[in-house]
């Protein structure tokens, strides 16, 4: 086992799974997603794990899932958007071909329809929450990544091209 050909990191909604599937098809390999691994292993949705057991427990499951996937997969691997928050998880990525798929808040709003949420009902304003998360995480993504591929205004096919060109 030689380790993954490409590892994708970046915020939720940036298209890691869509681009990852495309990259795997182009490289003639398989795609794996640590969120899906966790759901399969736990037999419950990620939202349930967060609600039932809290984020720290989820991050511990995620750390183990990333370690297993890195050791057992030689195709394209996508990590959950918050995986880089964990220092041990970041260390596991040292020296690997990691691509950070980035996007600006305007693109996040366009893609995920954050503005369609009802701002007065939301506990936190989604746009503000997005900015807060990215202020906390941007340097973690760039810290683990060999390359950064901006996705704003680009189709998944164009992003996949960008990843292959850059790595």
Residues that bind ligand S3P (CB under 6 A): 12, 16, 35, 46, 80-82
First-to-last alpha carbon distance for the chain, in angstroms, is: 20
Residue closer to ligand S3P by CB (options 28, 89) is 89
Q: Is 118 annotated as a binding residue?
A: yes
Q: 76 by DSSP, 3-state: which?
A: strand
HSE (CB half, 13 Å, CA atoms) of 4?
A: 31
CB of 78 to ligand S3P, least distance (A): 7
CB of 36 to ligand S3P, least distance (A): 9
CB of 133 to ligand S3P, least distance (A): 7
Which of 153, 52, 166 lies closest to 106, judged by CA? Answer: 153
Counts for the chain of helices (H) and strands (E), in that order: 8, 5
Q: Is 90 annotated as a binding residue?
A: no
CB of 35 to ligand S3P, least distance (A): 5
Q: Is 102 annotated as a binding residue?
A: no
Q: Is 47 annotated as a binding residue?
A: no
Residue closer to ligand S3P by CB (options 18, 125) is 18
Residue closer to ligand S3P by CB (options 2, 47) is 47
CB of 127 to ligand S3P, least distance (A): 16
E strands present in 25-155: 31-33, 76-78, 98-102, 147-150
- Find tokens 């809290």 and name the residue: 54
Residue closer to ligand S3P by CB (options 34, 162) is 34
Q: Is 154 annotated as a binding residue?
A: yes
State the Cα–Cα distance between residues 38 and 46, nearest whole angstrom. 8
Q: Is 26 annotated as a binding residue?
A: no
Q: What sign does the dihedral 89-137-29-37 (CA atoms) show?
A: positive
Binding residues for ATP: 13-18, 118, 154
What are the binding residues? 13-18, 35, 59, 81, 118, 137, 154
């Amino acid at each position: 086992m030689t380790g993954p050909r490409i590892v994708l990191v970046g915020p939720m909604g940036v298209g890691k799974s869509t681009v990852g599937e495309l990259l795997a098809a182009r490289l003639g390999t398989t795609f794996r997603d640590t969120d899906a691994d966790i759901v399969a292993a736990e037999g419950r949705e990620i939202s349930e794990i967060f609600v039932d057991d809290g984020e720290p427990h989820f991050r511990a499951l995620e750390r183990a899932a990333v370690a297993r996937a890195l050791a057992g997969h030689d195709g394209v691997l996508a990590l959950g958007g918050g995986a880089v928050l964990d220092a041990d998880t970041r260390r596991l990525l040292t020296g690997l071909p990691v691509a950070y798929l980035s996007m600006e808040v305007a693109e996040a709003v366009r893609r995920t329809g954050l503005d369609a949420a009802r701002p007065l009902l939301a506990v936190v304003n989604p746009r503000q929450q997005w900015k807060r998360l990215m202020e906390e995480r941007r340097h973690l993504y760039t810290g683990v990544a060999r390359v950064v591929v901006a996705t704003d205004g680009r189709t998944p096919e164009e992003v996949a091209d960008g990843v292959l060109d850059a790595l």
